[in-house]
Chains A and B, each alone.
Chain A
Amino acid sequence: MTFERFALDIYALSFGTMLVQITIGAIMAVRSRNLVHCFLGLVMTLVGVAGIYYFLGSPLLAVMQIMIYVGAVCVAIAFGLSLTRKAGEEGLQPAGLRGFVPPFITLAMLGSVLLGLSEREWVGYPKKIDESPIGQMLLGEYLLPFEVISILLTVAVIGAISVALIRRRN
């Protein structure tokens, strides 16, 4: 066994590990009875998704995913979890026949996407490209969406603060 082959094995194995980690984390996040376990499953999935971004050739997005989601959103969710905890309200509702709706919708979407892709070539080699033009593009070609996102974030944060403080002000 040559070194290249060994490296390829490790590469493929780590990719498979990411897929398994995302799947197990997502199922844990949705099926667990305890909300803290759900939260841990969410963290697991988010780290796995960062790995997927890395495999898609974008270390920038992987770092952003870790920083924004694992670093900020998850901490916010943990605070929300501890502020609104109440025993006896956790777990899932009984699904019944409605439990077939999400798999049906997902399979329909997946089927239509695969049907649309059947004419295309779907094997590619996602390689790392130079991502430094993104900063220039954000301030040039994509300036309007960038500003809209800034306004959205500001409005969301101010709105969240004012909504959470309604009772205290009165």
Chain B
Amino acid sequence: MDYLHTLPNNLIVYIIIAHLLFGIGLYGMMFRRTLIGILISLELLIQGVGINVMAFGTFLHVDPLAARIMTLFLLGIGAAEAALFLGIAVAVFRNYKTISINKLTRLKG
């Protein structure tokens, strides 16, 4: 139990969980079949980046407020990207009646 007590004070734990989220998100982006599945994976990936920035800023940076502001910007960019992606997904579904990436091949050479 004593080892567990030091867990929240260890930078490595945060880095490993951030990279794990990034890796799982990358896997999902490569192998999901639908646009919504890809969006969900992309959100996971952005969360991994956010934890990484926040952990490094808190543990190693002299000014922890700068890390918080950068993570806030990341949250904003993530929200904007999700809104745009959903708009595109709805438009694609309306035009092609599908959001499966295997069937959206009109631009394929």
A-side interface residues toward B, CB under 8 Å?
A: 8-9, 11-13, 15-16, 19, 22-23, 26-27, 29-30, 35, 38-39, 42, 45-46, 49, 52-53, 55-58, 60-61, 64-65, 68-69, 72-73, 76-77, 79-81, 83-84, 86, 89-93, 95, 98-99, 101-103, 105-106, 109-110, 113-114, 117, 120, 122-126, 129, 131, 133-134, 137-138, 142, 145, 149, 152-153, 156-157, 159-161, 163-164, 166-167
Contact = CB atoms under 8 A, between A and B. Distances in A.
Say what secondary structure dominates the interface of chain B: helix
Interface of B: 1, 4-17, 19-28, 30-37, 39-41, 43-44, 47, 50-51, 54-55, 58-60, 64-65, 68-69, 71-73, 75-84, 86-91, 93-95, 97-100, 102
A29 B6 contact: no
B54 A89 contact: no
Nearest to B19: A110
Contacts, number: 245
Say what secondary structure dominates the interface of chain A: helix
Given A16-B7, A52-B14, A137-B65, A156 B80 contact: yes
Contacts of A92: 31-33
Nearest to A109: B19
B86 A80 contact: yes
A86 B55 CA distance: 40
